[in-house]
């Protein structure tokens, strides 16, 4: 489906599928993905604007859903637990993927919002990720949101320089938090925002409503 003339918010859901996520955690994430698809279908303006890619990562990243109109996807691919948590490989991959998608969207004359990357993880990375992360932050120009297990070390999360960080507990499961966050973020596209107060550049914005995030072009 071509996106001629549309406004598009690319959303990249990067899901940690390392061995520790097996079982209930991944099942709840799959449930959240279905719920998100329903939300996009039920809200025509969001369905028209939001495009979603799903990337699972462990030893290596893999796109299981390329950037798509999720309301037209017949089935959401299943997530498969395997391997370790190689975050560096994910950031390298995301940087290339986002660049490629934005190039394609611009070629279709779409107006592209600053991409949103939601990174869901339950543990510390098992590789040397810092260089890839730095390059990603400098060139991808995406807004990074992290959803991490409550036990994940806070100092590591700070180093990710995410716009916002959310925690999930085994009690809630990652799916519920993911669902709440992604729906909250995307719904801000259709909310009223302040127009009479000066706006700070995004880099100076405190963590706040997603309107600070999405209302920017790349």
Query: Site residues (CB under 8 A) for other proteins?
Result: 5-7, 38-39, 41-45, 47-48, 71, 111, 184, 187-197, 209, 211, 215
Between 191 and 203, CB nearer to other proteins: 191
Determine which helix (DSSP H) or strand (DSSP E) holds 164, and give its type and residue range.
strand 164-168
Q: Whose Cβ is closer to other proteins: residue 145's or residue 148's? A: 145
- Tell me whether residue 59 or residue 215 sits nearer to other proteins (CB atom): 215
Taking phi first (over 0 means left), then psi (-120 to 50 degrees means alpha), and beta for anything else, what does residue 40 get?
Answer: alpha
Length of the chain: 218
Tell the smallest beta-carbon distance from residue 74 to other proteins (Å).
13
Least distance in Å: CB of 211 to other proteins?
7
Tell me which H or E stretch contains 152: none
Quote the least distance from Cβ 10 to other proteins, whole Å.
16
Q: Which residues contact 94 (CB under 8 A, 6 or more apart)?
A: 12, 14, 55, 61, 117, 136, 140, 142
Task: Output 25 or 186, the one with its CB closest to other proteins.
Answer: 186
């Amino acid at each position: 489906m071509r996106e001629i003339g549309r406004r598009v918010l690319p959303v990249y859901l990067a899901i940690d599928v390392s061995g520790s996520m097996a079982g209930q955690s991944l099942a709840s994430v799959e449930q959240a993905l279905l719920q998100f698809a329903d939300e996009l279908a039920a809200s025509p303006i969001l369905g028209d604007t939001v495009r979603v890619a799903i990337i699972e990562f462990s030893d290596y990243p893999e796109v299981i859903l390329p950037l798509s109109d999720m309301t037209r996807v017949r089935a959401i691919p299943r997530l498969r637990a395997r391997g370790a948590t190689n975050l560096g490989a994910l950031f390298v991959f995301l940087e290339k993927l986002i660049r490629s998608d934005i190039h394609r969207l611009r070629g279709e004359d779409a107006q592209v919002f600053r991409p949103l990357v939601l990174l869901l993880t339950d543990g510390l990375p098992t590789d040397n990720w810092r260089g890839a992360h730095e390059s990603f932050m400098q060139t991808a120009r995406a807004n990074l949101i992290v959803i991490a297990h409550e036990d994940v070390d806070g100092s590591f999360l700070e180093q990710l320089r995410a716009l916002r960080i959310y925690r999930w507990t085994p009690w809630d499961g990652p799916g519920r938090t993911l669902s709440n966050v992604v729906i909250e973020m995307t719904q801000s596209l259709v909310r009223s925002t302040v127009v009479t107060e000066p706006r700070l550049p995004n880099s100076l914005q405190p963590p706040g409503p997603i309107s600070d995030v999405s209302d920017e072009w790349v």
